[in-house]
Chain A
Amino acid sequence: MTATKSSVIPGFGPTLGYTLFYLGLIVLIPLAALFFRAAGMGWEQFVQAAFAPRVLAAYRLSFGGALLAAMINVVAGLLVAWVLVRYDFPGRKFFDAIVDLPFALPTAVAGIALTAIYAPNGWVGQFLKPLGIKVAFTPLGVVVAMVFIGLPFVVRTVQPVLQDLEVEHEEVAVSLGAGRWQIFRMIILPAVFPALVTGFALAFARALGEYGSVIFIAGNMPGVSEIAPLLIVTKLEQYDYAGATAIAVVMLVASFILLLVINTLQKWHSNRLGAV
């Protein structure tokens, strides 16, 4: 690789070299090991291990749960970002700060705490129980944990866009007689849409691979509330390295594709930002 734009700034070679070296050492070579392992097992065996009915059910839960959680996060995250940017209320700074909590709180701790809250005898669970709603140990619990870890991604991608939104557009719209809802739909939503999509994709990608917080609150029933990362661990514990590797490869390819999409989206998002 060479710099396509000639630059007077020194250090391209060494920095690129170090970046690639470290990236290769820590990330690429170990990941390559995974693919070689999978390649060693032959196509039929791979398909058998990676797409068995129980595994398919786990993908369904992981992908479906992550999708649902990301959608919930889009709505909840937009609302939270909106409130934090637009309104002044006591404790706003505090609430703004704790949005990042799921980034920093260890996932196992989050999992145990969420389980304690949403179990039928927990703080929230006891009020849901009479309503017939079970959260902990059901697929719903998986979604709750995924919402928890994904929320900051949407808030933090939407927030800056909302902040930089030119009020003038809205003022013009008001002077033209537009209502608030109309303004939201016609001006604000289109402006934050790229950020929302990026936030959605980030929350989705994170939720897909989540392990620590989910296993405590999921019921872990095969075919019902068993997530794909747990299945990898389960396979390992049965000394089924090939099976674990096959599922890991599928998950890895999925997250790589997701990342490519996210980075493309982010480019689009920043282009849009530049245009506004």
Chain B
Amino acid sequence: MRIKNTISLFAWIALSGLAVSPARADTTLLNVSYDPTRELYQEVNQAFAKEWKAKTGESLKINQSHGGSGAQARSVIDGLEADVVTLGLSYDIDAIAEKTGLLSSDWANRLPYNSTPYTSDVVFLVRKGNPKHLKDWDDLTKPGVEVITSNPKTSAGGRWAYVGAWGYALHHYNNDEAKAKEYLAALFKNVPVLDSGARGSTTTFVQRGIGDVLLAWENEAILAEAQLGKNQFDIVIPSISVLAEPPVAVVDKVVDKRGTRAVSEAYLKFLYSPEGQEIVARNHYRPRDPDVAKRHAKDFPEVQLFSVQSLGGWQALHKAHFQDGGIFDSITGVAKK
């Protein structure tokens, strides 16, 4: 047995070595991202690796990690060595900065548009022909309507949807917070399944056939319609929605340690380039570049949007709504009865 032990010990050591040794490519990057960007970054990574090779002769492999935005940020906080993070909301990158100091708290100022190279908004995905006639946010609270969304505490998608509903309610009830809370409570009373991630919600709605309406990012709704069932769903654009701005950032301490700062920064800048923006638009995210936006204007209908800043920003929203004992807890407590 001692022999066996020794063998396993050797295997162990060999493995630990394996884990830190670089892969075949000259350089590898790790992009830790959230759920709905899989298709986007698959295309971005290919295009950027090609450009980088042409420019520097260095072959580049970009590894991807996807999951719920909060879970991904948690992994980075616990030591997952991400060169870049491309998450669902700036609150999650703030959390990394605050808890680890891996990047400085002014990370958002480093790239244009507060480091958000693409945007989206929250729309309704309904079953073909919209049998329940769901046109706007206030239709969602009608009795008998089943709304599918994800847990706003853990899912960035769920959080944007929640904030969309909150913003609508404040707007609708002239900033009467009590009324807005009632609206949200009524809305969540109609939610039968609360998945922990946005992708889970889409599966529940599309694949399992649960619910009348899915609150989804516009890019997810278009993707779901295209990939999972043409002519089975319609997209309904509400009268007003939230401007979703998923942020990107280079993780300073990781890139400095690994010596990948130049390529990481170039990678994120590539997202803002005409080519990057074109890929962004092709993957149903709204591009920032006005020219690219013009070219894809027919894909992205005009929507009246409000920003998270107009509601006080993520930190304030988090404190009021998503902390334990916050508004979300109290309304789901109501919903329970």
Contacts and interface: CB of A to CB of B under 8 A. Distances in A.
Q: Do A and B touch, yes or no (CB under 8 Å, in the complex)?
A: yes
Q: Among the interface residues A224, A230, A237, A240, which one has the most CB atoms of the partner chain B within 10 A? A: A237
B324 A52 contact: yes
A71 interface: no
A53 B334 CA distance: 12
Contacts of B195: 220
Interface in A171-203: none
Interface of B: 68, 70-71, 73-74, 77, 95, 99, 151, 153-154, 191-196, 204, 207-210, 322, 324-325, 329, 332-333, 335-336
A54 B329 contact: yes
A224 B209 CA distance: 21
Chain A interface helix/strand/loop/mixed: loop
B204 A234 contact: no
A220 B208 contact: no
Nearest to A230: B196
A239 B325 CA distance: 16
Contact of A137 (B210, B329, B336): B210
Given A54-B329, A222-B194, A237 B68 contact: yes
Contacts of A52: 324-325
A240 B324 CA distance: 10
Contacts of A234: 151, 153-154, 196
A240 B151 CA distance: 16
B94 to A, nearest CB: 11
B153 A219 contact: no
A224 B335 CA distance: 10
Contacts of A57: 336
A238 interface: yes
A121 B127 CA distance: 15
Given A224-B336, A239-B77, A121 B193 contact: no
Contact of A219 (B95, B193, B335): B193
Contact of B324 (A119, A120, A221, A243): A243
Nearest to B323: A238
Contact of B153 (A119, A122, A238): A238
Contact of A220 (B68, B74, B193, B325): B193
Contact of A136 (B194, B208, B325, B335): B208
B95 A137 contact: no
Interface in A120-152: 120-122, 136-137
Contact of B333 (A53, A226, A238, A243): A53
Nearest to A224: B336
A221 B209 contact: no
Given A222-B194, A230-B196, A237-B154, 15 more contacts: A52-B324, A52-B325, A54-B329, A122-B208, A137-B208, A215-B196, A220-B194, A220-B195, A221-B193, A222-B329, A222-B332, A223-B332, A238-B70, A238-B154, A239-B95
The range of chain A's interface size is 20 to 34
A73 interface: no
B327 to A, nearest CB: 13
A120 B209 contact: yes
Contacts of B192: 137, 219, 221
6 contacts: A52-B325, A136-B208, A220-B151, A221-B335, A222-B336, A238-B322
B149 to A, nearest CB: 11
Interface in A65-113: none
Nearest to A49: B324
B100 to A, nearest CB: 11
A115 interface: yes
B52 to A, nearest CB: 33
A237 B74 contact: yes
A271 to B, nearest CB: 33
A147 to B, nearest CB: 20
A223 B210 CA distance: 20
A234 B335 CA distance: 19
Contacts of B204: 137
Nearest to B211: A137
Given A121-B208, A239-B74, A239-B99, A220 B332 contact: no
A236 interface: yes
A233 interface: yes
Given A233-B196, A234-B196, A238-B153, A120 B77 contact: no
B209 A121 contact: yes
A54 to B, nearest CB: 6
A29 to B, nearest CB: 17
A247 B252 CA distance: 34
Nearest to B318: A238
A46 to B, nearest CB: 14
A52 B332 CA distance: 14
Contacts of A230: 196
A220 B324 CA distance: 17
